[in-house]
Amino acid sequence: MQRFSFPSLVRNALSHHERWKPFWRDAAPKQRYDVIIIGGGGHGLATAYYLAKNHGITRVAVLEKGWIGSGNTGRNTTIIRSNYLWNESAAIYEHALKLWEGLSEELNINLMFSQRGVLNLAHSLSDVREGMRRVEANKLNGIDAEWCTPAQVKEFCPIIDVSPTTRYPVMGATLQRRAGVARHDTVAWGYARAADSLGVDIIENCEVTGVLRENGGVAGVRTTRGNIMADKIGIVAAGHSSVVAAMADIRLPLQSHPLQALVSESMKPIHPCVVMSNAVHVYVSQSDKGELVIGAGIDAYNSYSQRGSFHVIEHQMAALIELFPIFSRVRMLRTWAGIVDVCPDASPIISKTPVRGLFINCGWGTGGFKATPSSGWAFAHTIATGNPHPHNAPFTLERFSTGALIDEHGAAAVAH
Partner 1 sequence: MLLISCPWCGEREEIEFSYGGQAHVGYPQDPRALSDEEWGQYLFVRDNPKGLFLERWVHSQGCRRWFNIARHTVTHGITAIYKPGEPPPPPA
Does 372 bind partner 1 (CB under 8 A)? Our answer is no
User: How many residues form the binding site for partner 1 (CB under 8 A)?
Assistant: 23
Sheet hosting strand 255-266, strand order edge to edge:
146-148, 172-176, 118-122, 274-277, 282-286, 291-298, 255-266, 332-342
Pick the closer one to partner 1 by CB: 4 or 310.
310
Residue 255 as a binder of partner 1 (CB under 8 A): the answer is yes
256 touches partner 1 (CB under 8 A): yes
Is 227 one of the binding residues for partner 1 (CB under 8 A)? no
Distance of alpha carbon 109 from alpha carbon 192, whole angstroms: 11
Part of the chain binding partner 1 (CB under 8 A), chosen from 39-47, 149-157, 211-219, 245-253: 245-253
> How many CB atoms are located within 10 Å of the residue 391 CB?
24
Part in contact with partner 1 (CB under 8 A); list of ranges 31-39, 226-234, 252-260, 322-330 = 252-260
User: Which residues are within 8 A (CB) of 251 and not within 5 positions of it... i.e. 6 or more apart?
Assistant: 242, 245
253 lies in the binding site for partner 1 (CB under 8 A): yes
Does 396 interact with partner 1 (rule: CB under 8 A)? no
Element (H, E) at 255: strand 255-266
Minimum separation from the CB atom of position 398 to partner 1 (A): 9
Min dist. Cβ of residue 242 to partner 1 (A): 4
State the helix-helix crossing angle for 87-107 and 184-197, rounded to 10 degrees.
70
Interacting span for partner 1 (CB under 8 A) from 62-70, 127-135, 283-291, 301-309? 301-309
Q: Which of 111, 145, 235, 252 contacts partner 1 by CB under 8 A?
A: 252
How far apart, in whole angstroms, are the C-alpha atoms of residue 180 and residue 197?
29
Distance CA 258, CA 298 (A): 6
Which one, of 238, 253, 250, 251, lies nearest residue 356 by Cα? 250
Task: Write down the least CB distance from residue 300 to partner 1, Å.
Answer: 4
Q: Does 300 bind partner 1 (CB under 8 A)?
A: yes
Using CB under 8 A as the binding rule, whether residue 66 contacts partner 1 is answered as no
**Contact assessment for residue 9 and residue 20, using Cβ atoms and an 8 Å cutoff:** no
Which CB, 41 or 117, lies closer to partner 1? Answer: 41
Query: One symbol per residue from 114 to 153: x for binding partner 1 (CB under 8 A), - otherwise; what is it?
Result: ----------------------------------------
Q: Which is nearer to partner 1, 255 or 264 (CB)?
A: 255
* Cβ-contact 245, 283 below 8 angstroms: no
Which of 400, 407, 409, 416: binder of partner 1 (CB under 8 A)?
Answer: 400
Residues 22 and 314: their CA atoms lie apart, in Å, by 41
Nearer to partner 1, 82 or 303 (CB): 303
Stretch that binds partner 1, among 126-134, 282-290, 299-307, 325-333 (CB under 8 A): 299-307
Terminal alpha carbon distance of the chain:
42
Part in contact with partner 1 (CB under 8 A); list of ranges 17-25, 79-87, 365-373, 396-404: 396-404
- Residues 269 and 145: their CA atoms lie apart, in Å, by 25
What is the closest distance, in whole angstroms, from the C-beta atom of residue 344 to partner 1 in the complex?
Answer: 5
The helix (run of H) or strand (run of E) holding residue 194 is: helix 184-197
The half-sphere exposure of 229 on its side-chain side, counting CA atoms within 13 A, is 4
Binding residues (CB under 8 A) for partner 1: these are 240, 242-243, 251-256, 300-305, 309-311, 344, 400-403
